[in-house]
Structure 1
Amino acid sequence: MIGIDLISVPRMERLLKKFGKKALLRFLCEKEIELVKNGTTASGFWAAKEAFSKALGTGIGADCSFHDIKIYKDKQGAPKIALSRRIIQKFDITQVALSITHDGEFAIAVVTLETSTSADKVKEF
């Protein structure tokens, strides 16, 4: 399954200016906040979590919250996704991949995920 999200960086910067760290705590944990360098990074993290929830097919809400998804960086600095045990088990997630990019005033994230269920196999005709 694939999810994608796009966010305006100035929109995130306005939120940060108005609410500061409180805005970040709405969708990030402390360790994620340590990785945020500016509004551009925060925008990418927001887009990543939204893209994951879209790939899942639920959106952000009761079935999957922002805090069920954690962004971290590997040794090379590439963004990765970690998930709560509840989400992994509830949706039988076996793999997840993330890509974040920024261009001008936008941040975009794409997430792919695989589950152990066969419901998403290609249908024959």
Structure 2
Amino acid sequence: MITGIGLDIVELGRIRRLDGRSAKFRERVLTDRELAEYELLSDSRKTEYLAGRFAAKEAFGKAKGTGIGKFCSFKDIEIRKDPSGKPSVFFHEQPDGLVSITHTKEYAAAQILLQS
């Protein structure tokens, strides 16, 4: 049974500006594992990666019904890839739903589906 659906879209330019000012934004949004992956990417790919993770985590908060805040922080949510590159969402280190992330030249979007 579907228990929640979340969708979010973000402008790549906005994420690029926030990330370019300082590392604080990415350090607030990404987990340690995600930060390690981020550091291995090219500059253009870093923006897509960060924007996609941000959108996915915002979508997850919407699907949970809590939003991002006291009960569900960015650091509580982690997007991991399996060996083929398929993303999965983990909440408090536990698998917790399906995720799809996409990018265009100007936007990143993500959708989350939670099931029981």
- From 37, 58, 62, the counterpart of 1:54: 62
Structure with the greater alpha carbon radius of gyration:
1
TM-score under structure 1 length normalisation: 0.79
Q: Which amino acid aligns with 2:26?
A: L
Aligned residue in 2 for 1:15? 18
Instruction: Within 5 Å, give how 1:1-125 maps onto structure 2.
Output: 1-19=4-22, 21-36=23-38, 37=41, 38-84=46-92, 95-115=96-116
Count the aligned residue pairs. Answer: 107
Gaps of at least 5 residues in structure 1 are 89-93, 116-125
SS at match of 1:42: helix
Give 5+ residue unaligned stretches, structure 2.
none
| Structure 1 residue 15, shift from structure 2 partner | 0.9
The structure 1 segments of at least 4 consecutive aligned residues displaced by more than 6 Å after TM superposition are none
Q: What code does the residue aligned with 2:14 have?
A: R
Q: Distance in 2 between matches of 1:79 and 1:95?
A: 12
SS at match of 2:53: helix
Shift of 1:95: 4.6
Q: Post-superposition shift, 1:22?
A: 2.3
* Identity over aligned pairs, percent: 39
